[in-house]
């Protein structure tokens, strides 16, 4: 302060204080110049400068404290980011000595940061992967370019695990090159990759096996398809997609010539509408049609198809059979069957002939006697006209009876379908009834008739079929001969049967038929009557079978009598 006062005195006596404040004057004055005490103005200036200086120091202290706080925060952040990062950080020397590491790296290796410091990094790499890692490290320091590799490491407790190492070169404090390494545990990823590889290999194996099985299945299907005697075709919306060789052989084509074309190209014109209709939807019934071969020839065929999904498409798979040979064989069999039936008919005629000769012998004898009596009486003129007429009527009846027998024999030996006409069964029975009622009345037997008015017509020989009804009805009358009066009833009924045609039933209420007799009922020359010839039922069976029908017999469920059942095929009504 004394120095300041002295300076002030010198200045006051020599010059005015400089502008800008007293501090500048004090700093520039020498001790020799400060001679007197400072003025009040100078004191105020000095105090002001000191206050300003103190404020500057306080502001600098505040700045230092803020900087220290920011450094503490940065240090904490560094601690969190470096030490507590989810990956390991390591600083390695050129010789792979661990210089620094974070907590995560130490945890991954199963030890502490202190234990890791200044230890060789190679110690934690399994021996099989050390050469691989060494090459990457050498390349890192040679090229100074980042390097990435995956190796297997071992923890302090001996546990092995996979890590990914991402290394880069940095300069140390003294310019020494070091390696900064980021270490990530990729064990789970490696296991997942291995699982995927194993699964992929297994899947490839399964695919290979299934492909081989599919190929074998396709080969087997193809072999079976080619070995079949039927043609197989696959079509979509009427277009042929595929088929087997047999299908092409039937039509005399090569298969590649047929695929892609409409299936109606291989069908005769008269069958195209039928095939086209049946090829749409899921028509499942087998049907016959006429096919068309490449050379233009037409052949009979049978088709049977189903809707199927084939190679992802909605298609129709059809099996085709060539019926040419079958039709030929069938025609030959029918011809042979006709010949056989003819032979059987002739054999039957030979069987029946003996009985017929005997049957004709009686009316012939009666005719002879009546003729002799008539001639004798005419010569002697001994008979009146009325008795002579009676003899002539007997002669006429005998001749008519023999004519019917001969007519039936001719029809039996040569039943030509062309001789048959469309007849109504009810009409035929109505005409036969008068012949039966007279005999039934004489035996006191009642005839009940129940005729279905809606019967379809049949194609038949009127005389032959009438003979069947007469034979069955006369047998029924004979069966009622010894019955009580209340059971002397025969019933004749007709019905239309579904799918069969016309049914005629003749039922009696007699004693029925014993089983041993039932087995021989239609045998020739077998009869239960003392004077029977055994040809009536046999003749009836032959006539019915010649008309394509059948005749059966069974005892009635009520315990009395039997019923003969004749079924004839109906003739479809003619279109109007």
User: 3-state SS of 84-117?
Assistant: CCCCEEEEECCCCEEEEECHHHHHHCCCCHHHHC
**Among residues of the chain, what percentage have pLDDT more than 90?**
33
**CATH number belonging to domain 229-322:** 3.30.450.20
Return the axis-axis angle of helices 536-546 and 385-413, rounded to nearest 10°: 50
DSSP state of 237: T
Query: What confidence score (pLDDT) does residue 5 get?
Result: 37
For residues 42 and 123, what is the distance between their CA atoms, to the nearest angstrom?
77
Closest CA to 229 of 326, 136, 122: 326
Least confident interval from 195-199, 215-219, 288-292, 484-488: 215-219
For residues 368 and 399, what is the distance between their CA atoms, to the nearest angstrom?
11
E strand or H helix that includes residue 168: strand 160-171
Query: What confidence score (pLDDT) does residue 525 get?
Result: 59
Query: What confidence score (pLDDT) does residue 22 get?
Result: 42
Query: What confidence score (pLDDT) does residue 14 get?
Result: 36
User: Higher pLDDT residue, 264 or 401?
Assistant: 264
Length of the chain: 576
Confidence of residue 566 (pLDDT cuts 50, 70, 90): very high
- Is pLDDT of 365 > 50? yes
Query: What confidence score (pLDDT) does residue 411 get?
Result: 54
Mean local confidence (pLDDT), 177-182: 93
Query: What confidence score (pLDDT) does residue 132 get?
Result: 93
- Is pLDDT of 376 > 80? no
Least confident interval from 34-38, 182-186, 267-271, 383-387: 34-38
- Is pLDDT of 15 > 50? no
Mean local confidence (pLDDT), 230-241: 90
Mean local confidence (pLDDT), 386-413: 65
Return the axis-axis angle of helices 536-546 and 324-380, rounded to nearest 10°: 140
User: Higher pLDDT residue, 109 or 39?
Assistant: 109
228 burial (CB, 10 Å; 0-12 / 13-18 / 19+) is middle
Confidence of residue 398 (pLDDT cuts 50, 70, 90): low
Would you state the structure tokens that stand for residue 166, as one six-digit string? 């991402």
Residue 464 CB neighbour total at 10 angstroms: 22
**CATH number belonging to domain 84-185:** 3.30.450.20
Kindly list the distances between the CA atom of residue 425 and the CA atoms of 17, 133, 500, 551, in Å, as whole numbers in the listed order. 166, 111, 15, 15
Query: What confidence score (pLDDT) does residue 341 get?
Result: 60
Query: What confidence score (pLDDT) does residue 26 get?
Result: 40
Mean local confidence (pLDDT), 440-449: 88
Rounded to the nearest integer, the mean pLDDT of the chain is 80
Query: What confidence score (pLDDT) does residue 184 get?
Result: 94
Q: Which residues partner with 568 through β-bridges?
A: 502
User: Higher pLDDT residue, 524 or 194?
Assistant: 194
Question: For 300-330, how does the pLDDT look when each residue is reduced to its tens digit (9 = 90+)?
Answer: 999 998 888 877 888 898 999 999 988 888 8
For residues 152 and 157, what is the distance between their CA atoms, to the nearest angstrom?
15
Mean local confidence (pLDDT), 129-145: 93
Confidence of residue 11 (pLDDT cuts 50, 70, 90): very low
Query: What confidence score (pLDDT) does residue 296 get?
Result: 94
Confidence of residue 74 (pLDDT cuts 50, 70, 90): low
Query: What confidence score (pLDDT) does residue 517 get?
Result: 83
Query: What confidence score (pLDDT) does residue 6 get?
Result: 38
Least confident interval from 15-19, 203-207, 331-335: 15-19
Query: What confidence score (pLDDT) does residue 262 get?
Result: 93
- Is pLDDT of 484 > 90? no
Query: What confidence score (pLDDT) does residue 25 get?
Result: 42
Assign 463 to helix, strand or coil.
Answer: helix
Query: What confidence score (pLDDT) does residue 354 get?
Result: 53
Query: What confidence score (pLDDT) does residue 279 get?
Result: 82
- Is pLDDT of 556 > 80? yes
Query: What confidence score (pLDDT) does residue 485 get?
Result: 85
Query: What confidence score (pLDDT) does residue 565 get?
Result: 93
DSSP string, 117-166: TTSBGGGGB-HHHHHHHHHHHHHHHHH---EEEEEEEE-TTS-EEEEEEE
| The CATH number of domain 419-576, selected from 3.30.565.10, 2.170.120.20, 3.40.50.1820, 3.40.50.1580 | 3.30.565.10
- Is pLDDT of 150 > 90? yes
For residues 538 and 542, what is the distance between their CA atoms, to the nearest angstrom?
6
Q: Is the distance from CB of 537 to CB of 517 less than 8 angstroms?
A: no
**Architecture field, domain 328-414:** Orthogonal Bundle (1.10)
Query: What confidence score (pLDDT) does residue 1 get?
Result: 35
- Is pLDDT of 575 > 90? no
Mean local confidence (pLDDT), 494-523: 85
**Among residues of the chain, what percentage have pLDDT more than 70?**
73
Query: What confidence score (pLDDT) does residue 307 get?
Result: 87
Confidence of residue 418 (pLDDT cuts 50, 70, 90): very low
Least confident interval from 55-59, 72-76, 435-439: 72-76
For residues 326 and 65, what is the distance between their CA atoms, to the nearest angstrom?
116
**229-322 against 328-414: fold identical:** no
Ramachandran quadrant class, 499 (left: phi over 0; alpha: psi -120 to 50; beta: rest): left
Query: What confidence score (pLDDT) does residue 359 get?
Result: 53
DSSP state of 461: -
Mean local confidence (pLDDT), 514-522: 81
- Is pLDDT of 419 > 50? yes
Confidence of residue 363 (pLDDT cuts 50, 70, 90): low
Collect all residues with Cβ–Cβ distance below 8 Å to 233 and sequence separation of at least 6.
240, 242, 243, 247, 263, 317, 318, 320
Domain boundaries, the chain: 2-65, 84-185, 229-322, 328-414, 419-576
């Amino acid at each position: 302060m004394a120095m300041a006062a002295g300076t002030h005195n010198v200045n006051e006596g020599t010059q005015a204080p400089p502008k800008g404040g007293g501090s500048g004057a004090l700093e520039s004055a020498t001790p020799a110049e400060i001679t007197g005490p400072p003025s009040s103005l100078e004191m105020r200036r000095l105090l002001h400068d000191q206050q300003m200086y103190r404020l500057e120091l306080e502001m600098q202290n505040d700045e230092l404290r803020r900087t220290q706080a920011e450094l503490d925060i940065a240090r904490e952040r560094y601690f969190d980011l470096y030490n507590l990062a989810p990956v390991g950080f390591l600083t390695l020397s050129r010789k792979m000595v661990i210089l620094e590491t974070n907590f995560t790296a130490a945890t991954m290796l199963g030890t502490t940061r202190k234990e890791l410091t200044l230890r060789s990094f190679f110690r934690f790499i399994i021996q099989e992967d050390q050469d691989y890692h060494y090459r990457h490290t050498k390349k890192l320091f040679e090229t100074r370019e980042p390097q990435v590799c995956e190796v297997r490491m071992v923890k302090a407790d001996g546990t092995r695990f996979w890590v990914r190492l991402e290394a880069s070169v940095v300069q140390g404090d003294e310019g020494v090159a070091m390696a900064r390494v980021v270490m990530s545990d990729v064990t789970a990823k490696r296991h997942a990759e291995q699982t995927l590889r194993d699964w992929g290999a297994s899947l490839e194996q399964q695919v290979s096996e299934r492909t081989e099985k599919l190929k074998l299945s396709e080969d087997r299907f193809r072999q079976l398809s080619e070995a079949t005697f039927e043609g197989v075709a696959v079509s979509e919306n009427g277009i042929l997609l595929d088929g087997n060789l047999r299908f092409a052989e039937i039509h005399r084509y090569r298969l590649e010539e047929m695929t892609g074309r409409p299936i109606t190209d291989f069908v005769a014109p008269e069958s195209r509408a039928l095939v086209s209709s049946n090829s749409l939807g899921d028509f499942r019934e087998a049907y016959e049609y006429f096919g068309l071969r490449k050379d233009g020839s037409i052949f009979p065929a049978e088709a049977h198809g189903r809707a199927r999904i084939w190679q992802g498409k909605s298609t129709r798979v059809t099996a085709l059979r060539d019926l040419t040979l079958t039709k030929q064989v069938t025609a030959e069999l029918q011809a042979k069957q006709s010949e056989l039936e003819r032979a059987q008919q002739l054999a039957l005629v030979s069987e029946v002939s003996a009985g017929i000769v005997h049957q004709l012998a009686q009316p012939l004898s009666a005719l002879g006697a009546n003729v002799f009596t008539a001639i004798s009486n005419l010569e002697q003129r001994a008979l009146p006209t009325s008795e002579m007429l009676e003899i002539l009527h007997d002669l006429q009846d005998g001749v008519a009876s023999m004519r019917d027998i001969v007519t039936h024999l001719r029809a039996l030996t040569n039943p030509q379908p062309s001789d048959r006409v469309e007849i109504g069964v009810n009409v035929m029975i109505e005409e036969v009834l008068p012949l039966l009622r007279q005999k039934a009345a004489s035996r006191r037997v009642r005839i009940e008739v129940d005729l279905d008015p809606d019967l379809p017509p049949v194609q038949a020989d009127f005389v032959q079929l009438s003979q069947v009804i007469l034979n069955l009805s006369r047998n029924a009358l004979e069966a009622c001969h010894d019955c009580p009066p209340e059971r002397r009833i025969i019933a004749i009924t007709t019905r239309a049967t579904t799918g069969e045609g016309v049914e005629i039933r003749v039922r009696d209420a007699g004693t029925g038929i014993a089983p041993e007799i039932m087995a021989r009922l239609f045998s020739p020359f077998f009869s239960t009557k003392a004077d029977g010839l055994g040809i009536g039922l046999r003749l009836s069976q032959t006539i019915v079978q010649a008309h394509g029908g059948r005749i059966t017999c069974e005892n009635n469920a009520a315990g009395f009598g039997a019923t003969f059942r004749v079924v004839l095929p109906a003739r479809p009504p003619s279109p109007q």
